Amino acid sequence: MRTVSIEEAVSLIPNGASLMVGGFMGVGTPERLIDELVRQGKRNLVIIANDTAVPGRGIGKLVGAGLVAGTVASHIGLNPQTQAQMMAKTMAVELVPQGTLVERIRAGGCGLGGVLTPTGVGTVVEAGKQRIDVDGKTYLLETALRADFALVHAFLADYLGNLSYALTARNFNPVMAMAADTVIVTAENIVPVGLIAPDHVVTPAPLVDYLVANG
Amino acid sequence: MDPQTIIARRIARELHSGMLVNLGIGIPTLVANHVPSGIQVFFQSENGLIGTGPIPEQGMAHPHLTDAGGRPVTALPGACTFDSAMSFALIRGGHVDMTVLGGLQVDANGHLANWMIPGKMVPGMGGAMDLVTGAKRVVVAMQHTAKGKPKVMRQCSLPLTSLRVVDLLVTEFAAISFPDGRATLLETAPGVSVEQVKAATEADLVIPGKVEEMAL
């Protein structure tokens, strides 16, 4: 793990990169990384996230700045800019049931090729997917998702990179921290090693590549 | 009583102590306001919380404690938080006793359509497909008609949320269940006749010998 400035962290991300971004309606989203992506004008990004928040918040800032070429999400209903860009075909949007989205990411981080889920069988979600019957029940094969980068927001990070999260700001963050080639973390508080008790570490330090310095 | 209150109060009668319940947005959220006294229910918020409490008082909101719509909530004593994989493992894995969801259409067999209107509204399904597929019991809370047009259809014209049939539909006119995949009128709301329900419903309803009045 290396500690980097916010400018350096975002300079690692090339145009066209795929980014998993933690957060749920902007709660638990690494807002400083988003702001710096906008400032550095990174383009043609592919965003994998639960949602695109609302205009002016979290991922909504990337959408509003026209930096997103593609989105994989479960819900875009509260961001009219995402819907407008999808209708105008300037952004490709793949809508995925929320439980399927998180399991595809989990699979990507766990060395699995995908998961079998009953969700979506017989609906428009099934299009183009393989049906597999196991013990008389029908499932869809949903393939694993990975990204070039995971942008993760924690509540506590220690100097080694062990992470813990706060309340509902946890959401997709720890799952995404497993499923990307490079993991960049911001934290509300960066604390001495030992301050997060071993039982309370959610994301182990070896998973974190870069911790963004506070201040 | 307004239609939303009728629906929410009737559904609240389905709650029992110890249940883990997930409420969708809209009318379903109102069910939490009508929990019968003496009953303790665990409300799940699918963004990672069991023990969701009421909206915080002015100035007491916490930026890291919200419901699935991103609005500030409180956490009741005994609440716990978890990541989205756990949250949907609870939902898909059959650990959620009951979910209450809004609806655009329900058909005569009990299929629900509640997540998109092609060409008009494509918000994404969020957690709805997992909830309908995985919860032990699925209850739909919706108004019986939309601008005078029936929402209880012979067949849904909108894309389905799941092939899984819902267990109970509650509207401001009626409570309808789907034994053997056939819409069956269980109860009518106070002051509403069976004929009125039939007239507002496109689906053929099975009318049992005795249709009770909804107790609110």
Q: What pLDDT, on the 0 to 100 scale, is given for residue B69? A: 87
**Could you list the residue range(s) of the whole structural domain that residue B108 is in?**
3-213
A120 contacts B161? CB cut-off 8 A: no
Q: What pLDDT, on the 0 to 100 scale, is given for residue B16? A: 96
% of residues, chain B, pLDDT over 70: 100
The verdict on whether B187 is a catalytic residue reads no
* Tally of domains in chain B: 1
Query: DSSP assignment of chain A, as one string?
Result: -EEE-HHHHHHTSPTT-EEEE--BTTBT--HHHHHHHHHHT--SEEEESSB--STTSTHHHHHHTT-EEEEEESB-TT-HHHHHHHHTTSSEEEE--HHHHHHHHHHHHTT-SEEEESTTTTSGGGTT--EEEETTEEEEEEE---EEEEEEEEEEEETT--EE--GGG-TTHHHHTTSEEEEEEEEEEEE-TTSS-GGG-SB-GGG-SEEEPP-
% of residues, chain B, pLDDT over 90: 94
Chain B residues lying within 8 Å of A202, measured CB to CB: 83
ipTM score: 0.97
Is the Cβ of A98 closer than 8 Å to some Cβ of chain B? Answer: yes
**Which residues have a Cβ under 8 Å from the Cβ of A162 and sit 6 or more positions away?**
A193, A196, A201, A203, A204, A205
Domain locations in chain A as residue ranges: 2-97+145-212
Which of A:28-87 have CB within 8 Å of B? 28, 50-51, 53-54, 73-78, 83, 86
Is the Cβ of B129 closer than 8 Å to some Cβ of chain A? Answer: yes
CATH of the domain at B21: 3.40.1080.10
Its pTM stands at 0.97
Q: What's at A100, amino acid-wise?
A: T
pLDDT band at B56 (very low <50, low <70, confident <90, very high): very high
Q: What pLDDT, on the 0 to 100 scale, is given for residue B120? A: 85
Chain B residues lying within 8 Å of A125, measured CB to CB: 125, 129
Tell me the average pLDDT across B181-187. 97
Q: What pLDDT, on the 0 to 100 scale, is given for residue B25? A: 86
Q: Which CATH number fits domain A2-97+145-212: 3.30.1520.10, 3.10.450.50, 3.40.1080.10, 3.60.15.10?
A: 3.40.1080.10
pLDDT band at B30 (very low <50, low <70, confident <90, very high): very high
Q: What pLDDT, on the 0 to 100 scale, is given for residue A186? A: 98
Q: What pLDDT, on the 0 to 100 scale, is given for residue B162? A: 98
How confident is the model over A76-85, as pLDDT tens digits? Answer: 999 999 999 9
pLDDT band at B160 (very low <50, low <70, confident <90, very high): very high
Which backbone phi and psi does A195 adopt, to 5 degrees?
Answer: -75, -30
Question: What residue has token string 């939902």?
Answer: B91
Distances (CA, A) of A142 to A34, A88, B131: 29, 28, 17
How confident is the model over B99-127, as pLDDT tens digits? Answer: 999 999 999 999 999 999 998 888 999 99
Q: Which residues in chain A come in under a pLDDT of 70?
A: none
Q: What pLDDT, on the 0 to 100 scale, is given for residue A215? A: 79
